[in-house]
């Protein structure tokens, strides 16, 4: 009996690893959107009513007609975590509050100091010198993280998706916990073009970028201002042709966008 139970457990572990293996989701250059969506669906499964309608053939699964792969350069890395405060810091310096029931997942995530713009001292300062886990020198292999909307009922936060481990957690950007101003990995609004208000211009030390704005989000974008800090994530909601979201850390709202092609 013990041998059988161990066999079942090993099979289950093998299945979970093969379902969300790093090679399947991340190929070191890009990340498959459908794999990301599967992770989000596990966190936010359809309601019992939707499952009932689907079983009766009255509701069809929405299929994204625009398959997409995200470049790894749009991902984030974890550089610090605090279990007592249920808090994490990403490589751009942004500080996120994690849902307490999800914190056990975060403690398994790799902390990466490969993108070194925050020193250990600065991280400890951000956490008020509380118990913080910091990556030892020389360990630079990251877990790739992306943010997306949280579509579950009664939630006003976002999801941080670990593309490497195939899991996600509910998160809220802390008040005043936005990315480091003019930091090495911080994107900011560069300019607002009054002639073509459907274009979003971002400035970054790594690379400037231009984005086409989803028309449905135009009113949200109108409240944004030059030098607002922006975090790039992926769109897990509707408007499939716009695969990205830009999250405004100052106003704590987001718009859907796609890369602008001249």
Q: Are residues 159 and 229 in the same domain?
A: no
Using alpha carbons only, give the angle 74, 76, 77 rounded to the nearest 5 degrees: 150
Domain boundary pick from 118, 150, 173: 173
152 and 117 in a common domain: yes
pLDDT at 255: 96
**Would you state the torsion angle of the CA atoms of residues 162, 165, 170, 175, taken in this order, to the nearest 10 degrees?**
-40
- In order along its 262 residues, the chain shows pLDDT tens digits of 444 443 433 333 333 333 333 334 444 467 888 888 888 877 766 555 545 544 544 444 445 555 678 887 788 999 888 888 999 999 899 999 999 999 999 999 988 765 544 444 444 444 444 444 444 444 456 788 999 999 777 777 899 999 888 999 999 999 888 898 888 889 999 998 877 788 999 999 888 999 999 999 999 999 999 999 999 999 988 888 999 999 999 999 999 999 998 7
Q: Is residue 160 in some structural domain?
A: yes
Total domains in the fold of the chain: 2
Are 87 and 156 part of one and the same domain? yes
Contact 117/125 with Cβ under 8 angstroms?
A: no
For 213, which DSSP code? E
Identify each DSSP E strand in 24-153 by its residue range.
30-32, 69-71, 78-82, 87-90, 95-98, 145-149
Residue 58 resides in a domain: no
Determine the pLDDT at residue 48.
57
12 located within any domain: no
180 belongs to a structural domain: no
Q: Does residue 119 fall inside a structural domain? A: yes
The reply to whether 254 and 203 lie within a common domain is yes
156 in a domain, yes or no? yes
* Same domain (yes/no): 77, 158: yes
Q: Are residues 208 and 153 in the same domain?
A: no
| 33 occurs within a structural domain | no
191 and 255 assigned to the same domain: yes
Query: Do 155 and 78 lie in a common domain?
Result: yes
Last residue of one domain, picked from the residues 173, 205, 225: 173
Same domain, 125 and 205: no
* Boundaries of domain holding 101: 70-173
What pLDDT does residue 156 have? 79
Mapped onto helix, strand or coil, the DSSP state of residue 63 is coil
* Residues 79 and 129 reside in one and the same domain: yes
DSSP 26: B
Residues 158 and 191 in one domain: no
In a domain, 91, yes or no: yes
Residues 162 and 199 in one domain: no
């Amino acid at each position: 009996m013990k041998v059988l139970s161990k066999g079942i457990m090993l099979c289950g572990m093998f299945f979970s690893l093969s379902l969300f293996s790093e090679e399947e989701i991340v190929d070191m250059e890009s990340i498959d959107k459908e794999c990301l969506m599967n992770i989000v669906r596990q966190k936010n499964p359809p309601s019992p009513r939707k499952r009932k309608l689907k079983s009766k053939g009255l509701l069809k699964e929405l299929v994204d007609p625009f398959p997409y792969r995200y470049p790894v350069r749009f991902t984030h890395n974890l550089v610090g975590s605090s279990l007592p405060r249920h808090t994490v810091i990403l490589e751009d310096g942004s500080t996120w509050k994690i849902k307490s029931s999800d914190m056990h997942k975060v403690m398994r995530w790799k902390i990466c100091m490969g993108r070194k713009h925050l020193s250990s001292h600065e991280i400890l300062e951000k956490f008020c010198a509380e118990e913080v886990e910091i990556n030892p020198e020389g360990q630079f292999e990251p877990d790739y993280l992306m943010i997306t909307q949280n579509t579950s009922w009664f939630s006003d936060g976002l999801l941080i998706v670990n593309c490497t481990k195939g899991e996600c957690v509910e998160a809220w950007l802390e008040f005043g916990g936005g990315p480091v101003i003019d930091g090495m990995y911080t994107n900011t609004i560069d300019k607002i073009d009054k002639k073509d208000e459907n274009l979003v211009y971002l400035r970054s030390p790594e690379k400037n970028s231009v984005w086409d704005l989803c028309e449905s989000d135009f009113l949200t974008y109108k409240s944004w201002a030059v030098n607002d800090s922006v975090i790039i994530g992926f769109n897990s909601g509707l408007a499939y042709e716009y695969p990205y979201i830009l999250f405004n850390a100052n106003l704590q709202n987001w718009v859907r966008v796609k890369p602008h092609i001249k």
